[in-house]
């Protein structure tokens, strides 16, 4: 660990003025950059699990008739327990990788795609060179070696590509997989495991008459909204059924792996959803919810008890209707005609056929994980949080008015190692935006603008939900401020948020802001924070932050 930090000491050179953008390659040249030798293994790194992860184009049989061309991660264990890299059946998704806290893993990522790529371990606390930053992309034919120790708590994480401007299409084509971490604390709880620990990756896609994936092809407005498909796939499979056993309890690990779509998940018959985990942790105790809002990239672990459900019965999960705000509704409108799943409408997600019978003795524990949340009193900026506003400016999605720069980072985005901070993330305009902002001065949007003027700012512009994500750490949510949210929106989603535990992604409806508390520890380096609507991300709603 010490060594890892030392290697990154050159970053200290970067304590420059507020407006200075620090450009990484310059620093690299004066101090060997870790990434340079990431195409070879470190023989001193004793890996518990060593595997190849190859990204390649392939044809799979998803439907009757024509095969579908997809991009897919293929896992191949070189050393370690082969069952921990588990292939899904009929699916384009990558393998489920199961690891335990404290283990060391080596992943040899091989890029066989016709373009550059790099893999990011979403939610994992890893050094900069293992984080899959877009600056570390490798070309077709190259290998990138990740070597890191699992430092995270038990939780449901995932991996996906992260090249700048191409994350949306690469994930869409199939490149994503679950990364499941367990630890001693979780093992003691005896939660459902093996066949009773079931992945449920939600994604929307659209296929043409030849069974080929259709991505965005309808111009800029489409990308502003993000991709919305016309059908839901579960675990990379268009047949959205699971077959489970009466008499048994299950742990369902939901990941919203969609590009832009988010869900208001509920059991059709009104059974509450029992949530036991969110993103990077189990909750302290199970929480019962009428429905859950699941933003892009968010995960929830759901307890499902089929002990009293007869064989032959069915459970259906739906996404219920809600108001996504102006742009979300437009997305639905634009898609209409072709898209029978507008964002915010009601539609079916998943059918559970209870067509077998069995028994297991997993009991829902009343106490799950023990943890102390970060204490606001320990934050260096408790009364003066860093504020990051997510809004549209001159037809660009921005963060505080800035868009993506590969290695650019400002003082405002630079934090100190071993400190705790409060960040305020705001889904609302930040400055005078002028008439070039579509609809910014009109109608419903105008009310938003007036609201911001009360805070001494002129806001507005197009508003959409944004799922905020930060790399490298798990945060706690201190508060969700909904005073700026249109009441139609708020009333339709208000019971669906899970703000306890440790998480790395949080969904912000239009007008919403959240205060997050986070700690920067163990590693210095350059990491990302961004909107996880992948089309927004690709359009530049992504920035670096630096730990120095
Ligand atoms: Cu899933 Cu930059 O993240
Ligand atoms: Cu991430
Ligand atoms: Cu966004």
Instruction: Indicate if ligand 1 lies below 6 Å from the C-beta of 330.
Output: no
Is 0.95 exceeded by the ipTM?
yes
- What is the DSSP annotation of 74-138? EEEEEES-GGGEE--SS-SS-PEEEEETT-EEEEEEEEESSS-B-EEEET----GGGS--GGG-B
Torsion sign, CA atoms 450, 453, 458, 461 = negative
Spatial CB neighbours of 508, under 8 Å, sequence gap ≥ 6? 390, 425, 426, 427, 465, 466, 467, 468, 514
pLDDT digits (tens, 9 = 90+) for 189-224: 999 999 999 999 999 999 999 999 999 765 666 677
Closest Cα to atom 3 of ligand 1: 122
Residue 158 CA: nearest ligand 1 atom is 1
> Among residues 67, 84, 66, which one has the least CA distance to residue 75?
84
Ligand 1 atom nearest the C-alpha of 537 is: 2
Longest dimension (CA), the chain: 68
Instruction: From the CA of 471, give the closest atom in ligand 1.
Output: 2
Q: Which atom of ligand 1 is nearest to the CA of 162?
A: 2
Contact (CB, 8 A) for 471 and 527: yes
Distance of CA 205 to the CA centre of its chain: 17
From 393-397, 402-406, 468-472, the region with the lowest mean pLDDT: 393-397
Lowest-confidence segment of 5-14, 97-106, 308-317, 513-522 by average pLDDT: 5-14
Q: Ligand 1 within 6 A of 124 CB? A: no
The whole-number pLDDT of residue 333 equals: 52
Ligand 1 contacts CB of residue 530 (under 6 A):
yes
In short, whether 471's Cβ falls inside 6 Å of ligand 1 is yes
Q: What percent of the chain has pLDDT over 70?
A: 84
Ligand 1 pocket, 160 CB below 6 A? yes
Q: What is the pLDDT of residue 449?
A: 44
Least reliable range by pLDDT among 13-17, 66-70, 255-259: 13-17
Q: How confident is the model at residue 510 (pLDDT cuts 50, 70, 90)?
A: very high
For the segment 33-65, what is each residue's pLDDT rounded down to a tens digit?
445 679 999 999 999 999 999 999 999 999 999
Cα angle at 476 between 118 and 367, to 5 degrees? 110
Residues 336-371 pLDDT 10s? 445 678 889 999 999 999 999 999 999 999 999 999
Ligand 1 atom nearest to CA at 505: 1
- Centre of ligand 1 to C-alpha 442, Å, is 34
d(CA 168, ligand 2 centre) in Å: 14
What is the band of 394 on the pLDDT scale with cuts at 50, 70, 90?
confident
Check if the beta carbon of residue 483 is closer than 8 Å to that of residue 516. Answer: no
Alpha-helical (H) ranges within 226-377 are 326-335
DSSP 8-state code for residue 226: -
Band of pLDDT at residue 452, cut at 50, 70 and 90: very low
The domains found in the chain, sorted by start residue, are: 34-188 (2.60.40.420), 194-357 (2.60.40.420), 376-547 (2.60.40.420)
151: which residues sit within 8 A by CB, 6+ positions away? 101, 124, 125, 126, 522
Q: What is the model's pLDDT at position 423?
A: 98
Query: Both tokens of residue 477?
Result: 């949510």
Phi, psi for 39 (deg, rounded to 5): -100, 0
Sole residue written with tokens 């059991």: 267
Length of the chain, in residues = 548
How remote is the CA of residue 297 from the centroid of ligand 1, in Å?
8
């Amino acid at each position: 660990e010490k060594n890892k930090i030392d290697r990154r000491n050159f970053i200290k050179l970067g304590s420059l003025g507020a407006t200075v953008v620090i450009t990484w390659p310059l620093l690299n040249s004066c101090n060997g950059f870790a990434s340079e030798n990431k195409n070879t293994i470190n023989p001193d790194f004793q890996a518990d699990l060593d595997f190849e992860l190859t990204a390649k184009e392939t044809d799979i049989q998803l439907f009757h008739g024509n095969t579908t061309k997809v991009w897919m991660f293929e896992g191949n264990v070189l050393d370690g327990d082969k069952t921990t890299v588990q292939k899904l059946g009929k699916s384009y998704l990558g393998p489920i990788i199961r690891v335990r806290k404290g283990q060391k893993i080596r992943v040899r990522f091989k890029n066989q795609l016709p373009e550059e790529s790099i893999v990011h371990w979403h939610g994992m606390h890893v050094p900069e060179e293992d984080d899959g930053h877009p600056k570390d992309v490798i070309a077709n034919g190259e290998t990138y070696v990740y070597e890191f120790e699992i430092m995270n708590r038990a939780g449901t994480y995932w991996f996906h590509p992260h090249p700048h401007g191409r994350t949306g299409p690469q994930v869409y084509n199939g490149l994503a997989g679950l990364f499941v971490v367990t630890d001693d604390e979780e093992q003691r709880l005896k939660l459902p495991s093996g066949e009773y620990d079931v992945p449920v990756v939600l994604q929307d896609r659209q296929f043409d008459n030849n069974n080929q994936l259709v991505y965005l092809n309808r111009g800029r407005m489409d990308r502003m909204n993000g991709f919305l498909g016309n059908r839901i796939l579960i675990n990379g499979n268009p047949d959205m059924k699971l077959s489970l056993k009466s008499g048994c309890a299950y742990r369902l690990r939901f990941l919203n792996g969609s590009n832009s779509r988010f869900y208001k998940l509920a059991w059709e018959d009104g059974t509450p959803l029992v949530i036991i985990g969110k993103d990077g942790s189990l909750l302290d105790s199970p929480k019962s919810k009428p429905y859950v809002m699941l933003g892009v990239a968010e995960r929830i672990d759901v307890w499902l008890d089929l002990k009293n459900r007869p064989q032959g019965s069915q459970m259906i999960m739906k996404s219920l209707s809600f108001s996504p705000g102006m742009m979300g509704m437009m997305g639905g409108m634009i898609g209409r005609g072709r898209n029978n799943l507008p964002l915010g409408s009601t539609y079916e997600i998943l059918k559970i056929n209870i067509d077998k019978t069995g028994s297991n003795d997993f009991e829902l524990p009343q106490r799950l994980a023990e943890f102390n949340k970060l204490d606001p009193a320990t934050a260096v900026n408790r009364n003066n949080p860093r504020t990051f506003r997510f809004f549209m400016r001159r037809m660009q999605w921005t963060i505080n008015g800035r868009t993506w720069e590969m290695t650019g980072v400002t003082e405002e985005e630079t934090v100190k190692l071993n400190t705790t901070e409060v960040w305020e993330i705001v889904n609302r305009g930040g400055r005078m935006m002028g008439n070039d902002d579509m609809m910014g001065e009109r109608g419903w949007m105008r009310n938003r603008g007036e609201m911001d003027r009360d805070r001494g700012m002129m806001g507005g512009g197009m508003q959409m939900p944004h799922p905020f994500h930060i790399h490298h750490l798990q945060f706690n949510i201190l508060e969700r401020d909904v005073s700026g949210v249109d009441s139609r929106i708020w009333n339709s989603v208000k019971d669906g948020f899970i703000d306890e535990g440790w998480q790395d992604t949080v969904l912000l409806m239009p007008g919403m802001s959240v205060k997050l508390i986070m700690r920067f520890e163990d590693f210095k380096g350059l990491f990302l924070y961004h909107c996880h609507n992948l089309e927004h991300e690709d359009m530049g709603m992504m920035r670096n932050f630096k730990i120095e």
